[in-house]
Structure 1
């Protein structure tokens, strides 16, 4: 009997950024893979996640490669980079995720998904800058929640909780978990899979294997590679984010901030309704 196959799709979070082992990244998916099956018949793990990936990349590049591997388990954790782009469109995000989820479920693959905290909060941006990003991430999370339920995914609620405010869980850039945070994600996914009878290996340890980077090392990383990482993700967003922030300030001054939330909620509802209509069989 062939070993259990696990393929991970996504962006830098799943690639393992924040959890270095030697010259490479490890991350929560690799830690989870070690606990999916007994030690005498370990799972075969393939990580297709790429830093900077958006939902389009997962649909067009990562999913075809993963389907060819016919995995038993696949994780699809994606969406934060979409919120950091001026091209953000919740209708497109919903359509792409629906196609990705459906493709794996059609193969009988166990699907893992997660909702995530918004980058504005993690970066501690000022309110007028943080709120538009938070609104976008809430929209993505709502879509992921709805589609995870529709497609029978094993879904991890990681958008809130004590771990977000626990500085020990996060790397220097505050956007990616450190080793301790990656281990918590792995353990929480393992608990959900074990409850469903889908994880039979050892529970991933929550205790770090390596000492946390010193403050000076963290600051050096943030000043060099980390700053570049954030700049590359946000370059095309910045002009639009300034416009969005100006709108936030105007609405707050007028006492009409609720309109922005309402508009975003309507967009999410419209995106999900469009998928429901598209899935209805043609009338006889």
Structure 2
């Protein structure tokens, strides 16, 4: 009998950015994996098809990943592993692109969730805080991003309920404003933040009898990076991250901000929220119900 398998799909959050271990990243999914093992057992990161003990864990998440990347690149690998448990946490990068389309995001997430659950996989999902607020951007810049992230979260909420996912509400709460929970770039959790995510998801899984190991510790294993080290990271890898996204997003974000200011000046800001809500409703309504959807290979 093969060991249970846990596969993580998504972007830099699930890849573990903000929780460095050695020359790479660890992150909430790897921390959670250890807590899925039976008492006395352990879980190791393994190559596809491998076994690391009571629970076999594979992390397919890649920094910068969007819903399209998860659907086209990560999902086929995940399906080949036939996981018992799979996390799909993605969507923030979609909101940071000029190509953002909530209809496309909803369709892709629906296909991803459908394909995994069709194999009998239990899903883990999460809604997340909006990047504009986390970065502390001015209102005219942050509000459009917040509106997009709320749209993604609404879709994730609806589809998580449809597919019976184990869903974590992580878009709000004290953790979003606690600086100790976030790394230097203010977009990725610190080790402490990753540990909180892992512990909260572990608790949800334990309620369903899906996590039998010890819950991840809330206390960091490694010292908090010094201010000098954090600034160095921002000046090297962090700067590259910002430049790549600004080249794509900034022109449209400035247009969105201009539109935001025009509506505020006219007292018609509510129209923007109504427009987004209508788009989300239309996107969800366009999805076929599960028993009418064709099989996904």
> TM-score higher than 0.5 here?
yes
Q: Pick from 67, 85, 90: which aligns with 2:97?
A: 85
Structure 2 Cα separation of the partners of residues 83 and 234 of structure 1: 12
Superposition map of 1:1-284 within 5 A: 1-38=1-38, 39-40=40-41, 41-276=53-288, 280=292
Change (3 A) 1:48 1:252: same
Task: Provide the secondary structure at the position in 2 that maps to 1:71.
Answer: coil
Moved more, 221-230 or 159-168: 221-230
Q: Do 1:4 and 1:43's aligned partners in 2 also have CA atoms closer than 8 Å?
A: yes
Cα distance, 1:4 vs structure 2 = 1.2
Q: After superposition, what is the alpha-carbon deviation per residue over 1:216-259, rounded to whole angstroms, capped at 9, x for unaligned?
A: 11111112211211221332111000000000000000000000
Structure 1 Cα separation of the partners of residues 291 and 201 of structure 2: 30
Q: Do 2:114 and 2:290's aligned partners in 1 also have CA atoms closer than 8 Å?
A: no
Task: Provide the secondary structure at the position in 1 that maps to 2:277.
Answer: helix
Q: Do 1:52 and 1:233's aligned partners in 2 also have CA atoms closer than 8 Å?
A: no
Q: Do 1:4 and 1:42's aligned partners in 2 also have CA atoms closer than 8 Å?
A: yes
Cα distance, 1:2 vs structure 2 = 1.6
Q: Do 1:59 and 1:99's aligned partners in 2 also have CA atoms closer than 8 Å?
A: yes
Structure 2 Cα separation of the partners of residues 218 and 228 of structure 1: 15
Q: Do 1:128 and 1:249's aligned partners in 2 also have CA atoms closer than 8 Å?
A: yes
Task: Provide the secondary structure at the position in 1 that maps to 2:248.
Answer: coil
Query: Normalization by structure 1: what TM-score?
Result: 0.97
Q: Do 1:172 and 1:218's aligned partners in 2 also have CA atoms closer than 8 Å?
A: yes
Structure 2 Cα separation of the partners of residues 48 and 65 of structure 1: 8
Q: Do 2:88 and 2:124's aligned partners in 1 also have CA atoms closer than 8 Å?
A: yes
Q: Do 2:134 and 2:186's aligned partners in 1 also have CA atoms closer than 8 Å?
A: yes
Task: Provide the secondary structure at the position in 2 that maps to 1:131.
Answer: helix
Query: Normalization by structure 2: what TM-score?
Result: 0.93
Aligned residues: 282
Structure 1 Cα separation of the partners of residues 18 and 70 of structure 2: 21
Cα distance, 1:31 vs structure 2 = 0.2
Structure 1 Cα separation of the partners of residues 290 and 98 of structure 2: 27
Q: After superposition, what is the alpha-carbon deviation per residue over 1:170-214, rounded to whole angstroms, capped at 9, x for unaligned?
A: 000000000000000000010000001000111100100000001
Change (3 A) 1:185 1:81: same
RMSD: 1.4
Structure 2 Cα separation of the partners of residues 278 and 16 of structure 1: 32
Task: Provide the secondary structure at the position in 1 that maps to 2:36.
Answer: coil
In structure 1, the gaps of 5 or more residues are none
In structure 2, the gaps of 5 or more residues are 42-52
Q: Do 2:89 and 2:126's aligned partners in 1 also have CA atoms closer than 8 Å?
A: yes
Structure 1 Cα separation of the partners of residues 104 and 173 of structure 2: 28
